[in-house]
Structure 1
Amino acid sequence: MAPALPRLLATRRLPQEVETRLGAAYQAQFNADDHPMSEAEILEGAEGKDALLITSMDKGFATGIIAKLPPSVKIIATFSVGHEHVDIAAARSRNIAVTNTPDVLTNATADITLLLILGAARGASWGERMVRENRWDSWSLTEPLGYDVTGRRLGILGLGRIGQAVARRAQAFDMELHYHNRRPVAPDLALGARYHADLFDMLPYCDFLSINCASTPETRGIVNEKLIAKLPRGAIIVNSARGDIVDDDALIANLKSGRLAAAGLDVFRNEPKIDPRYRSLDNVFLLPHLGSATRDTRVDMGMRAADNLDAFFAGARPRDLLT
């Protein structure tokens, strides 16, 4: 008799190709209507399961749910690169493996970062609203006007895989590149960007500041009043990393005062319940966390998660093991 297939709970709908693969290799329970599962639903669904496939929207995994999981759960695969939504220490203490899906969404997220830069600088949000709301009734030489991107200075906070991909794209706009990391990257990966060991030393060189670092205890809230004050007046901030890196009060105040010219945001604290003040600001280009939202990327992410699950249940070390 063939051994029983591992039992899997997926907390959200997955691309069809991924669900087909998982359905053949696991006794899989899928979220048919794709509703956000509550902690109680996840715990009920986890009963008797060997594996959980979760997303970054499942916040309970950072705030106590892992301690309540049934003993049958042996691995948590998160459909994301970031893993701040999972209490890694709690998982490790229960001998539960945790994996993520790096690499496969680098280009899609870097593309979105350039869209944020261009959308914020050129007023794409208010421009589209003018057309959609039939308020475009004349043409003016003086208003409304956006800001140039070509030849400007770009500071990248976090020159990892995504930051490097952003730098490559920014080169096409002849941007002067600067970056801050905990340590410098190899020259061939830095693409000529100037390294600043101290973040605050980089800020005066940033006409644009792109946030591409991970959300960690050190970076949460780092884009605050003190940081913004060091940027040139009229700078533009874009964020395609994680919403909790930005202090919303500070960013909104400086956008309202004109200290910052604009911002482009794809991620938010407490998303999708974003700070409602952003919706009333004409100088903010807003997207609903589209960084990895291409068909190819989401399929690749799901397949990467499946690869990790398959390796684990085959007795091998998953490629993206975090514990």
Structure 2
Amino acid sequence: MPIVPAELVHANLSIDRAEVQRRLLAGETLLKDTPDHLLEVVDVLKSYGEVLDAYSINLIYQAERQFLNPLPIFKYLDGDHSPAKIWRHLNHDRINFEYAEYCQKAMFWHATGGMDAYFDSEAFADNCRRIIDAKRRRDPLLALLNPLFPGFLPELIRSAATTHALGQFWRVMSDLFLDLAAAEADGRVRSIPAVVEFIKDGLVAAAANPIRYGVSIGGEQLWVLPPEAGLTFLVDVAVPYVEAVFLRGMPFLGTVSFNAQAQQISPDQAQFTYGALYADPLPSMGSGIPPSLLMQDMYRHLPERLHQWYRERTRGEGDVRVKICMSFQKSMFCVTNAAINGTMPHP
């Protein structure tokens, strides 16, 4: 048996841009409809749904309970400071919330969609001023920092707003992926086109869900993302998430030179192609590769049916996380497919 499995050594058969456009406009799926693909996509999304549940809970906890905390050393504990929880955390018997933060930073940095436009508005600046005035009366450190660095706290508030919005987005997606697994189990979903349609219907149903975020300071409720901002699930969070995480992403340490003279990274963020849909699965579990954290989280929640399918292929358990990454990539093509279809007036 070769050291590198034959199925991982092949010519690049990826379709070109024109073919992608043709398939999308024709209402076809980007992923080929096969029984193996159906098993991979449904089961890996079931695992992902369970992981997203934990990610969502923690991001919302961070945004609401760790808001403007200068030393958030317990931010991954979801408010449970018991010795058992801390011990499991220190022994790394836990979900890797660092990957959730990586996705949040990608969204925050690429800054697309209506939420970013609202961040630049005078209304948001007024909200920040009210929040900072209320917070610094109770926090001497923030009272000292704000006059010295007037742009620092508003930037932290923008980051917290992105964190909370991503938590709300993942709450919907977690429920949707777990519902998809249940639909496949009872025979309602039997093909890749049906998977795409199921996800699209879920996205469309949640499209108009309002994205709101407020914090409580000294018993006073203050809005960060108020209802008046008019932010909604699909246009202002889901689509920017797909663009930032699936398409653009950020270059991983150790895979490309960060030396500006080497010119290996485009100076134009719109040209970035480091997202999940472009990712090479082989570096999974390598140092500095953030999706490795997600692959480990998904491995902990892997359905037995998919786990057995992996054991029977290539190096069994030896490259299971690489195979999870490949299945996850296929599933993200389906999610992207559904998101694009959901923004079109008709197939």
TM-score by length of 1: 0.29
TM-score by length of 2: 0.28
Larger relative contact order (C-alpha < 8 A, sep ≥ 6)?
2
